[in-house]
Structure 1
Amino acid sequence: MRRFLPFLDWLPRYNKTLFGKDLVAGITVGIILIPQGMAYAMIAGLPPVYGLYASLFPILTYAFLGTSRQVAVGPVAMDSLLVAAGLGTLAISGVQNYILMALFLSFMVGAFQLIFGFLRMGFLVNFMSKPVISGFTSAAAVIIIFSQLKHLLGADIMNSNKFHELVINAFRHLSETNIYDFSIGIIGILIIASFKKWFDRFPAILLVVVLSTLVVYFFNLEAFDVQVVGEVPAGLPSFNIHSFSMERVRDIWPIALTLAFVGYLETISIGRAFEEKNKVETIDPNQELIALGASNMVGSFFQSYSVTASFSRSAINYEAGAKSTVASVISVVMVALTLLFLTPLFYNLPKAALASIIMVSVFGLIDISYPKKLWYQSRDEFMVLLLTFLITLGVGIVEGILIGVLLSLLLMVYRTSKPHFAVLGNIKGSDYYKNISRFGDEAEVRPDLLIVRFDSQLYFGNSGYFKSELFKFINVKGRSLKAVILNAEAINYIDASASAVLINVIEEIHNRNIEFYIAGATGPIRDIIFKSGIINSLHKEYLFVRIKEAVAYHDDPNTIPSLREKVAYQNQSN
Structure 2
Amino acid sequence: MIEQLSRYVPVFDWGRTYNRSTFSNDMIAALIVTIMLIPQSLAYALLAGLPPEAGIYASIVPIVLYAIFGTSRALAVGPVAVVSLLTASAVGQVAEQGTAGYAVAALTLAFLSGGFLVLLGVLRLGFLANFLSHPVIAGFITASGILIATSQLKHIMGVSASGHTLPEMVASIFEHLGEINFITVVIGVLATAFLFWVRKGLKPLLKSMGASPLIADIATKAGPVAAVVVTTLSVWLFGLNGAGVKIVGDVPQGLPPLTLPSFSPDILGALLVPAILISVIGFVESVSVAQTLAAKKRQRIDPDQELIGLGAANIGAAFTGGYPVTGGFSRSVVNYDAGAETPAAGAYTAVGLSIAAVGLTPLVYFLPNATLAATIIVAVLSLVDFSILKKTWNYSKKDFAAVAVTILLTLGMGVEVGVATGVLVSVLLHLYKTSRPHVAEVGLVPGTQHFRNIHRHSVETNDTLLNLRVDESLYFANARFLEDYIQKRVTNGTLIKNVVLMFPAINDVDYSALESLEAINSRLRDMGIGLHLSEVKGPVMDRLDRSHFLDDLNGRVFLSQYDAWRAFNPV
Aligned to 1:204: 223
Decide which moves more: 269-278 or 511-520: 511-520
1:323 corresponds to which of 341, 346, 355 = 341
- One-letter amino acid of the counterpart of residue 180, structure 1: I
Asked if 1:395 is matched to 2:413, the reply is: yes
Report the 3-state secondary structure (helix = DSSP H, G, I; strand = E; otherwise coil) of the residue aligned with 1:450.
Answer: strand
Instruction: Write the distance in 2 (CA, Å) between the matches of 1:432 and 1:554.
Output: 16
In the alignment, structure 1 residue 512 sits paired with structure 2 residue 527: yes
| Map of 1:268 onto structure 2 | 287
Partner amino acid for 1:546?
Answer: S
Check the 8 A contact 2:262/2:268 in 1, yes or no. Answer: no
Give the whole-Å Cα distance in 2 for the aligned partners of 1:472 and 1:155.
66
1:476 to partner: Cα distance: 5.7
Task: Give a deviation string over 1:308-342, Cα, whole Å, max 9, x none.
Answer: 11111111111111111222122212211112112
Q: Which amino acid aligns with 2:564?
A: A
Pick from 263, 272, 277 the counterpart of residue 258 of structure 1: 277
Correspondence for 1:169 among 164, 169, 172:
172
CA contact (8 A) 2:465 2:568 kept: no
Moved more, 354-363 or 70-79: 70-79
Whole-angstrom CA distance in 2 between matches of 1:366 and 1:547: 49
- Alignment-mate amino acid for residue 392 of structure 1: T
State the shift of 1:205 in Å: 0.8
**Is 1:241 equivalent to 2:257 in the alignment?**
no
Determine which of 472, 485, 501 is the counterpart of 1:456: 472
Tell me the distance in 1 between the aligned counterparts of 2:377 and 2:435.
43
Alignment of 1:196-235 (within 5 A): 196-200=199-203, 201=217, 202=220, 203-235=222-254
Aligned-partner Cα distance in 2 for 1:218–1:414: 63
Q: For residue 181 of structure 1, what is the aligned residue in structure 2?
A: 184
User: Are the equivalent residues in 2 in contact too, given 1:39–1:51 (CA < 8 A)?
Assistant: yes
Structure 2 equivalent of residue 572 of structure 1: none
In the TM superposition, 1:77-476 aligns within 5 A as 77-92=81-96, 95-157=99-161, 159-200=162-203, 201=217, 202=220, 203-281=222-300, 283-439=301-457, 442-475=458-491
SS of the counterpart of 1:478? coil
* TM-score normalised per structure 2: 0.93
Aligned partners of 2:49 and 2:97 also within 8 Å: no
Q: 1:360 to 1:244 in 2, by over 3 A?
A: same
Q: Does 1:552 align with 2:566?
A: yes
Q: Describe the shift of the 1:116–1:326 C-alpha distance in structure 2 as closer, same or farther (beyond 3 A).
A: same
What residue is the counterpart of 2:208 in the other structure?
none
The alignment's C-alpha RMSD in Å is: 1.7
Aligned equivalents of 2:181, 2:35: Cα separation in 1: 29
- Measure the CA separation in 2 of the matches of 1:515 and 1:248: 62
Give distance in 1, aligned partners of 2:547 and 2:331.
54
Range with greater deviation from structure 2 (239-248 or 427-436): 239-248
Whether the aligned pair in 1 keeps the contact of 2:43 and 2:55 (CA below 8 Å) is: yes
Write the distance in 2 (CA, Å) between the matches of 1:319 and 1:232.
31
Q: Is the 8 A contact 1:59 1:73 kept in 2?
A: yes
> Do the aligned partners of residues 435 and 243 (structure 1) sit closer, same or farther apart at CA in structure 2, a change above 3 Å counting?
closer
Greater shift, 33-42 or 470-479, is seen at 470-479
Report the counterpart of residue 211 of structure 2 in structure 1. none
Count of paired positions:
551
Counterpart contact for 1:135–1:388, Cα < 8 Å: yes
Q: Tell me the secondary structure at the aligned position of residue 451 of structure 1.
A: strand
The unaligned stretches of length 5 or more in structure 1 are: 560-574
Q: CA deviation at 1:555?
A: 4.2
C-alpha displacement of 1:369:
2.2
**Aligned residue for 2:517?**
502
- Alignment correspondent of 1:23: 27
* TM-score, normalising length: structure 1: 0.93
Shift of 1:243: 4.2
Counterpart CA distance in 2 for 1:92 and 1:352 is 22
Q: Which residue of 2 aligns with 1:525?
A: 540
Q: Pick the aligned partner of 2:62 from 58, 61, 81.
A: 58
| Off by >4 Å, runs of 4+ in structure 1 | 91-94
Preserved contact between residue 34 and residue 349 of structure 2 (Cα < 8 Å)? yes
Q: Which amino acid aligns with 2:288?
A: S
Following the alignment from structure 1 to structure 2, what is the Cα–Cα distance between the partners of residues 119 and 435?
Answer: 42
Aligned-residue offset at 1:477: 6.7
How many angstroms apart in 1 are the aligned matches of 2:454 and 2:65?
A: 59
Q: Name the SS for the 2:22 alignment partner.
A: helix
Identity %: 38
Q: Secondary structure at the match of 2:443?
A: strand
SS for the counterpart of 2:456 is: helix
Question: AA paired with 2:198?
Answer: F
